[in-house]
Structure 1
Amino acid sequence: MLSWAPDTNHIGVYVAKHLGYYAKAGLQPDIVAVAQAGAEQAVNSGNADFALSNLTNVSIASTKDAQLLQVLQVQQKPSAIWCSLQSNTAITRPKDFDGKTFATFGSNESDAVIKRMIEHDGGKGEFDKVTVGTSTFQTLSSGKADFGGFYATWEGVQAEMNGPQLRCFTEPDYGVPGNADTIGVITNSKTAKQNPELVRKFTQATQRGYAYAYEHPDEAAKILVDEAPEANLDLAFVKRSMHTIVDGAYWGDMNAMKQGSFTLGTNDVSGSQQYIDFLAQAKVFTDAAGKVVDTVPQVQTLSTDKFLLSAQELAPSFK
């Protein structure tokens, strides 16, 4: 199950299907649109076997008794950017978010991040909010909000190519610890225990798909465009997104992968835990009844690398 509309975060899955990596492993997965309740809930209930997610979402779901496990983490560093329109001269730094209106999708997580960034920059951390109904770009352009969240590898590229021009700030520069964007593949922890061979085959085929995309960004971009026609993706835009990922080493150090000293897909337990600890301090985690949970989720129990190909096994994928 997708986590959103088809984009370059999902590209390894489409590549693995198109190039026959799944078929070679004896699998014929269907790629389906994200459910209204979310990909995490779909995997937890058994309506999907695997989904794209991240360790933050897995941690949040775990406090509501979900049984999820991340088995592959493709993104190794944050790509979230918090931006205003460049034409909004009243905002030149995160401190200027104070007293302004935040275009939000409604998560306590993003509130905690913005508050920390403002405070780190010397502000009070006080802002108004408006829930985004369609596009954050449209919300900012209409004047209904002053700033919002985007991703450098997708909306950031869109703004560079087509506008509107943005003025952006990144979390690590303003006091947010760890890695917030641990995007990867999740499954149900029961599935991992009861059918480990299925999980191993799917994880390794997907891992090969992302490795191919990292090594062949233009070819992978065309595969995504062709395999997800419902998304009406522009090939030039998808290529630019993939090159942003490669040039920024968002999926890890390519040289280390070629040398076999780093495995694409490794879960960043340390970086993720730092971010989870930060969210816990901000009282972000709640149980199913909405009550704040004081017990901090532990990433080492919510992720595993045991189903991955080794660095040496994957190294030949990188020329």
Structure 2
Amino acid sequence: MKKKWLAILSTAFLLAGCGANEENESANDPKKEELEKVTVVLDWTPNTNHTGLYVAADKGYFEEEGLDVEIIMPGEAGADQLVASGQSEFGIGYQESVTQARVQGVPLVSIAAIIQHNTSGFASPVEKNIKEPKDFEGKTYGGWGSPVEESVIASLMQQQDSDVSKVSFVNMGDSDFFTAVKRDIDFAWIYYGWTGVEAELRGEEINMVYLTDYSEKLDYYTPVLTTNEKMISDNPETVKAFVAAVSKGYQFTIDNPAEAAEILLAAAPDLDADLVKASQEWLSPKYQDDANRWGVQKQEVWENYASWMYENGLLEKELEAEKAFTNEFLPE
């Protein structure tokens, strides 16, 4: 989560230009010469949010669509910046960061929702007795210094007539959730599909205050698959091919979570195998959830969250939601 918000904050400094795509052919592999080389940059280190990409690579779905896809790490620049500037054709982002980028004139576009509903929330050890937003009063929150954090917490607490000024905010630094709650914080913002599942495996009971239980406007798409406007205008067939392969990858993961977990582990062997398998089992039904197909996005969801951000002073102007996302490249 910390890395995520650092990436979001960095979008304020992006330039709106998009670079030209470079085409490099491999002299050693005639088959590769026939494929179009593109990159997709992750938002963070490999995890089960990304499994569909690794499945698409492992199962040959990218090659079937005429693509030679390299999955890369974001580095200091962040995925949004690399995609917006054309240094990477595709990336993993978040509705909130795309929203901020669009308002600032940065040409990011979301082309698929990786997870249909927001699975994040505020987690705390059960002994902290934090069961609902009003229980945040008198407690210490560990975060990464984004203004969005206090705004979200305040908006939840206001629904129960409680006061965000009674919450202490500290920076967690590089500490993980489990270290921080034993040291100097009471609760933190997590994705249940990773950190929550890890808590289960550790046998550490936690309480969750999910954003979606208290506000429909906070049920936004996180993460999403992104590209830039230049790719869409100049190379729509490439975008279509990429999304088709990724869709097959996530559909396989939905249907075969155990095998998909093994594919992710083969690509990222440093990950905790038990965590990956358990996380994949928990997350696979959440990718599509109640949508009629994987990846589909609703304008209402984009408008709801953007209006919430604007009302809370997190956007300098309102979002043109219809330009921030598209479903046109999803397979029928």
TM-score (norm 1): 0.86
- Give 1:137's aligned residue: 178
The answer to whether the 8 Å contact 2:250/2:287 transfers is no
Residue 176 of structure 1, CA deviation: 5.3
The answer to whether the 8 Å contact 1:265/1:308 transfers is yes
Residue 74 of structure 1, CA deviation: 2.0
Aligned-partner residue type, residue 306 of structure 1: E
Residue 148 of structure 1, CA deviation: 0.6
- Mean CA deviation greater in 189-198 or 168-177: 168-177
Q: Measure, in 2, the Cα distance between the counterparts of 1:26 and 1:304.
A: 22
Q: Measure, in 1, the Cα distance between the counterparts of 2:303 and 2:203.
A: 35
- Give 1:120's aligned residue: 159
- Mean CA deviation greater in 160-169 or 64-73: 160-169
Residue 38 of structure 1, CA deviation: 1.5
Aligned pairs (5 A) from 1:224-303: 224-229=264-269, 232-247=270-285, 249-253=286-290, 262-285=292-315, 293=316, 295-303=317-325
- Give 1:28's aligned residue: 68
- Give 1:82's aligned residue: 122
Aligned pairs (5 A) from 1:98-113: 98-113=137-152
Q: In the alignment, does 2:211 pair up with 1:171?
A: yes
Q: Measure, in 2, the Cα distance between the counterparts of 1:225 and 1:131.
A: 31
Change (3 A) 1:238 1:268: farther
Q: Measure, in 2, the Cα distance between the counterparts of 1:246 and 1:18.
A: 18
2:258 to 218, 224, 227: 218
After TM superposition, where is structure 1 displaced by more than 4 Å over at least 4 residues in a row?
Answer: none
Aligned-partner residue type, residue 166 of structure 1: I
- Give 1:41's aligned residue: 81
The answer to whether the 8 Å contact 2:48/2:280 transfers is yes
Q: Measure, in 2, the Cα distance between the counterparts of 1:181 and 1:302.
A: 12
Q: Measure, in 1, the Cα distance between the counterparts of 2:293 and 2:220.
A: 20
Could you give the per-residue CA deviations for residues 80-105 of structure 1, whole angstroms, max 9, x where no partner exists?
Answer: 0201221224x342212123221112
Change (3 A) 1:309 1:250: closer
2:93 to 31, 35, 53: 53
The answer to whether the 8 Å contact 2:253/2:284 transfers is no
Structure 2 gaps, min length 5: 1-40
Aligned-partner residue type, residue 88 of structure 2: A
Q: In the alignment, does 2:108 pair up with 1:68?
A: yes
Aligned-partner residue type, residue 273 of structure 1: E
Root mean square deviation, CA, Å = 1.6
Structure 1 gaps, min length 5: 257-261, 286-292, 311-319
- Give 2:7's aligned residue: none
TM-score (norm 2): 0.83
- Give 2:22's aligned residue: none
Could you give the per-residue CA deviations for residues 37-94 of structure 1, whole angstroms, max 9, x where no partner exists?
Answer: 31101111122111111221101112232111111112111100201221224x3422
